Amino acid sequence: MIISRFLRRGISTASTCATRRSWWDHVTPAPKDPIIAVTEAFLADPFPYKINLGVGAYRDDEGKPVVLQCVREAEGKIAASNFLESTSTAVSSKFVEESAKLIYGQDSNVIKERRFAGIPALSGTGACRLFAEFQKRFYPESRIYLPDPTWSNHRNIWRDVHVPDRTFRYYHPDSKSLNFVALMDDIKNAQMVLSSLLHPCAHNPTGVDPTNEQWREISSLFKAKNHFPFFDVAYQGFASGDVERDARAIRIFLEDGHSIGCAQSFAKNMGLYGHRVGCLSVLCNDKIQAMAIKGQLQQISNTMYGSPPIHGISLASKILSDPDIKAIWLKEVKVMATRIHRMRAILREALERLGSPLNWQHITNQVGMFCFSGLNRAEVYLLAKEFHIYMTPDGRISMAGVTTKNVDYLANSIHEVTTCDQDAKILHNTDAYRINTDIRFTSLGASKSRARGMNLSL
């Protein structure tokens, strides 16, 4: 009897363990984010002079992350603060107000009349996700229209809240410029009520922005089609070096009387990447509507993460609200943008000096953090495999990773992979790379035809 009881218990335990082991057997590995995959490959490479051109965060001319002076000043100001629950609401409200002033204008009627609903978010990604949840809740049948191409995570964000996405043409790969006619045609022919995502400046990944006149035409068409414009502002200041100028697209839509949604990130332009500082705002008809929408946004955020950490918000709020510290920040934004502009010019000049048969004018025509190089997947593969230079498979180069010490090596490497014959064997000796940019390259052989047809995959 006792033996029988233990046997039954053993069978039951074994059955339970088997059940437990099978709970997650159906889970398969998630596809890797392309940017994370680039970083992982870079970190796994032991070559001492490897180059990471994948990360969309600022680096100085030594290739190092930077703690801005404005952040140090703000840190000193808030060091004595008590980061208590009782103070978090006031800090968050101040941060949202200063963020709204930055993007809509200090003297905007939207600010004066309190016609915006805003809450802190976990950087720009969190702000986009909050808006996607809000869109699904109040326009469950709507879609999101995304530019083609756009940041790789945009589609994931709206897909995960079950908002269908469509794309509108944005970039012309042959001219490496804005495909404005196709963009307008796609928006004009879009069906049903929808939201369209726009990059107001420093488009990711292309670095191609509409002109002010083109923005006016886009705004007019949005108005005629009753489309809701949602702006993802991840790089304010990096396009021109002037945060006011980089907000011009949004101001044009504001002048035309649009309702607007806006996701702001301070990860890049304040160097607060690890703090996840962002803001979501939605423009409203009046103060009463703003209060209602803010309450709904807070309810959504409460079910996701409650509230974001207060330290980063306090830093950003102090930088934006303290005139002296803000002045330091605006100068530092200009310095960062200027360095990136300079590296664009040097890279283009280096490629042209090598006698490249290709047109590299787009390097300096594009703006912001990224250069959409035009390199194909095969060439990107070769850059990583033979030259230890890492970027996303679409050829996007983070110009912040280009420095005066590595730009000649980068230019020579790009020149080699874009002019080699598809059957040529790369004989480059990586030991020839010296950090003082006295770089020697061995020949790829006599053939200099482009490797556009290589059957290589990442």
Q: List residues with catalytic annotation.
A: 151, 232, 268
| Residues in contact with 124: Cβ distance below 8 Å, sequence separation at least 6, in sequence order | 232, 233, 234, 263, 264, 265, 267, 278
Backbone angles phi, psi at 457, to 5 degrees: -135, 155
Q: Are strands 177-178 and 171-172 parallel, antiparallel or unpaired?
A: antiparallel
